[in-house]
Amino acid sequence: MKAALYHEFATALTVETVPEPVCPADGVIIEVKANGICRSDWHAWMGHDASIKLPHVPGHELSGVIAECGREVKNWQPGERVTTPFCGACGSCEQCLSGNQHICDHDYQPGFSGWGSFAQYVMIPKADTNLVRLPESLDFVEAASLGCRFMTAFRGVVDQAKLRPGEYLAVYGCGGVGLSGIMIGVALGAQVIAVDIDETKLELAKSLGAVVTINAKDGKPYGAIRDLTGGGVHVSVDALGSQLTCRNAIHSLRKRGRHVQIGLMLADDANASLPMYAVIAKELEIYGSHGMQAHRYPAMLDMIVRGRLEPKRLIGKTVSLEQAGTELMSMGQFSQAGVTVINSF
């Protein structure tokens, strides 16, 4: 099969012919029809993830068709249209048994733990636990855009922050995660404030329903947010993942506000200092959001099918497998507007 891979960190990807994956007894082989290109892939390519073994095929935001099922798989058949969370679960550890499969103690992540979906085929283990059936109305490119960005934002805003109608939500960073959070917040009836340093991305945020956009280049954005909201927002989201955006997002909260950290904090940002004095004085709550369980997809997919969420509006462009390496390597510059999806293999 064809796959895009790198042999050393932070070096160009090459498209090569490699062996097809072997189907495990409890898993499936998926013929990849579309795959998102994500900043998490960029972090892996940079060498920020210790689980990566070289050479490596990235990719974890996939949709496709089941090509082969292992003999122990009960709930799936070849030919079915599927996607999967990037955080694959074992189904039997303490976290999985409590319904929190997205933080499985023995998780398998395509594109990280093993070769991913910048390829014509990818292996997914524990299929009965990890696969999600796609509605017929959802095409493969839109399904791939759910990837880790949209579904992580969904869990962060809906399940972790428990955002309510009429509340203020501030989203820092208007890339794929941030724009997803904005769309979800608007659908839930919140008043959304978008923060970025790129006017093009802020215009995208406004088109998705953000009531206010703030260019953080103009100074400390949380001061303006506090003034606009009469003391701060109810929920803040750092969708970028930096010490600055994390702190600014927390400072944007009103008393008893909730902060959700979705953007990955890695490399130089891994051990960020937080304004804990504000957390204590204002009784703030801080949540992480790392993916979403397969069993929570139906709630998200139902909102998409009913037109309350339109992830296809976040798709900036589609590219071929041969173009994927260039797109991946450029993610460190934050130049992409919206979500980029591979749709030609």
Mean pLDDT computed over 276-284 = 96
Is residue 336 scored above 70 in pLDDT?
A: no
Label residue 267 by pLDDT band (50, 70, 90).
Answer: confident
Mean pLDDT of all residues in the chain?
A: 95
Q: What would the pLDDT profile of 207-223 be if each residue is shown by its tens digit? A: 999 999 999 997 789 99
Q: Which domains does the chain have, with CATH numbers?
A: 2-148+292-344 (3.90.180.10), 150-288 (3.40.50.720)
State the chain's maximal CA–CA distance in angstroms. 61
Identity of the amino acid at 296: R
Q: What would the pLDDT profile of 84-135 be if each residue is shown by its tens digit? A: 999 999 999 999 999 999 999 999 999 999 999 999 999 999 999 999 999 9
Burial of 335 (0-12, 13-18, 19+ CB in 10 A): exposed
CA distance 196 to 216: 6
Helix 176-187 / helix 199-207 crossing angle, nearest 10 deg? 30
Other CB atoms within 10 Å distance of the CB of residue 264: 21
Q: Which two tokens stand for residue 113?
A: 């733990």
Label residue 335 by pLDDT band (50, 70, 90).
Answer: low
Q: What would the pLDDT profile of 169-226 be if each residue is shown by its tens digit? A: 999 999 989 999 999 999 999 999 999 999 999 999 999 999 999 999 977 899 999 9
What's the whole-model pTM score?
A: 0.93
Label residue 271 by pLDDT band (50, 70, 90).
Answer: confident
Mean pLDDT computed over 50-64 = 95
The residues facing 62 across adjacent strands are 35
**Which residue, chain included where needed, has tokens 């590219």?**
319
CA distance 93 to 70: 22
Is residue 151 scored above 70 in pLDDT?
A: yes
Is residue 147 scored above 90 in pLDDT?
A: no
